[in-house]
Structure 1
Amino acid sequence: MAQRHLDPTDRPTAEVVTAHALEGYLRAQATEFLRALRLHRVTGGSSAGGADGAVDAARALRRSARRISGSLHTFRPLLDPGWAEEMRPELAWLSDTLGLEHAYESRLERLLLALHRLSGAAVFPAQAVTAAAVAAADPGAAGRAGGAAPVPPRAAPDHGGGPPVPAPAPERGNLTVGAAKAGALLERQLTLARTRAHSTALQALGSARFHAVADKVAVLASEVPLTPAAATTDPSPLAAAARERLTDAVAALPLITAGRPYNAEALVHGLSPGPSPHPQDGPWHQVRLLLRLHRYAREALYADGAPVDVRLVAAGQALDRHRDAAEAAGAAAQAARTPRIAPATAYALGVLHADQRHEVEAARFAFQRAWQKQTVDVP
Structure 2
Amino acid sequence: MAQQHLDPPTNPTTGPSPTGDALAGYLRAQATEFLRSLRQHREAGGDGGPAGRAKSRVGDNGSEGSVDAARALRRSARRISGSLHTFRPLLDPDWSEAIRPELAWLSGTLAREHAYAARLERLLGALNRLSGMAALPVQTASAVGGRSAGAMGVPPEPELVGGSRGRVGTAEPVSSGPRTQPTGNLTVGAAKAGALLDRQLTLARTRAHSAALQALGSSRFHAVADRVAVLASEVPLTPAAYTTDPRPLAAAAEDRLTDAVAALPLLTAGHPYNAEALVHGLSADTAPQPQDAPWHQVRLLLRLHRYAREVLYGEECPVDGRLLAAGQALNLHRDAAEAASAAASAARTPRIAPATAYALGVLHADQRHEVEAARFAFQQAWQKTAVRTT
TM-score range, shorter chain: 0.7 to 0.9
- 1:65, 1:91 within 8 Å by CA — same for their partners in 2? yes
Could you list the per-position Cα deviations for residues 305-336 of structure 1 after superposition, in whole angstroms to 9, with x for gaps in the alignment?
23432110100010000000000000001001
Aligned to 2:312, which of 295, 301, 307? 301
Structure 2 residue aligned with 1:266: 277
SS state at 1:341 partner: coil
Structure 2 residue aligned with 1:124: 135
Aligned to 2:84, which of 51, 72, 77? 72
Q: Which amino acid aligns with 1:11?
A: P
Could you list the per-position Cα deviations for residues 73-94 of structure 1 after superposition, in whole angstroms to 9, with x for gaps in the alignment?
0000000000000011000000
1:9 CA drift (Å): 4.1
Structure 2 residue aligned with 1:291: 302
1:154 CA drift (Å): 5.6
**Distance in 2 between residues matched to 1:307 and 1:41, nearest whole Å:** 33
Q: Which amino acid aligns with 1:13?
A: N
Structure 1 residue aligned with 2:43: 42
Structure 1 residue aligned with 2:154: 152
Aligned to 1:107, which of 119, 123, 126? 119
Aligned to 2:230, which of 219, 227, 243? 219
SS state at 2:202 partner: helix
Q: Cα distance 1:296–1:232, how it changes in 2: closer, same or farther (>3 A)?
A: same
- 1:178, 1:345 within 8 Å by CA — same for their partners in 2? yes
Aligned to 1:52, which of 48, 64, 68? 64
Aligned to 1:97, which of 92, 96, 109? 109
Q: Structure 1: which 5+ runs fail to align?
A: 127-145, 156-168
Note if 1:209 corresponds to 2:220: yes
Q: Give the aligned length.
A: 340
Q: Which amino acid aligns with 2:250?
A: A
Q: Which amino acid aligns with 2:118?
A: S
Note if 1:349 corresponds to 2:354: no
- 1:9, 1:240 within 8 Å by CA — same for their partners in 2? no
Structure 2 residue aligned with 1:162: none
Q: Cα distance 1:247–1:118, how it changes in 2: closer, same or farther (>3 A)?
A: same
Structure 1 residue aligned with 2:190: 179
In our comparison, the structure showing a higher alpha carbon Rg is 1
Structure 2 residue aligned with 1:160: none
**Distance in 2 between residues matched to 1:35 and 1:308, nearest whole Å:** 25
Q: Cα distance 1:154–1:244, how it changes in 2: closer, same or farther (>3 A)?
A: closer
SS state at 1:278 partner: coil
1:283 CA drift (Å): 0.2
1:125 CA drift (Å): 7.0
Could you list the per-position Cα deviations for residues 324-376 of structure 1 after superposition, in whole angstroms to 9, with x for gaps in the alignment?
00000000010011111111111111110111001001100100110111279
1:10 CA drift (Å): 3.5
1:6 CA drift (Å): 5.8
1:124 CA drift (Å): 3.3
Q: Cα distance 1:48–1:279, how it changes in 2: closer, same or farther (>3 A)?
A: closer
Structure 1 residue aligned with 2:333: 322
Structure 1 residue aligned with 2:144: none
Structure 1 residue aligned with 2:25: 24
Aligned to 1:11, which of 4, 9, 12? 9
Q: Which amino acid aligns with 1:7?
A: H
1:149 CA drift (Å): 6.6
**Distance in 2 between residues matched to 1:37 and 1:125, nearest whole Å:** 36
**Distance in 1 between residues matched to 2:286 and 2:113, nearest whole Å:** 21
Aligned to 2:75, which of 63, 66, 73? 63
Q: Structure 2: which 5+ runs fail to align?
A: 46-51, 138-147, 158-179
1:27 CA drift (Å): 0.2
SS state at 2:385 partner: coil
Q: Which amino acid aligns with 1:233?
A: T
Taking structure 1 as the reference length, the TM-score comes to 0.84
**Distance in 1 between residues matched to 2:129 and 2:242, nearest whole Å:** 57
SS state at 1:374 partner: helix
Taking structure 2 as the reference length, the TM-score comes to 0.82
**Distance in 2 between residues matched to 1:68 and 1:97, nearest whole Å:** 16
Note if 1:374 corresponds to 2:385: yes
Q: Cα distance 1:151–1:328, how it changes in 2: closer, same or farther (>3 A)?
A: farther
Q: Percent identity?
A: 75
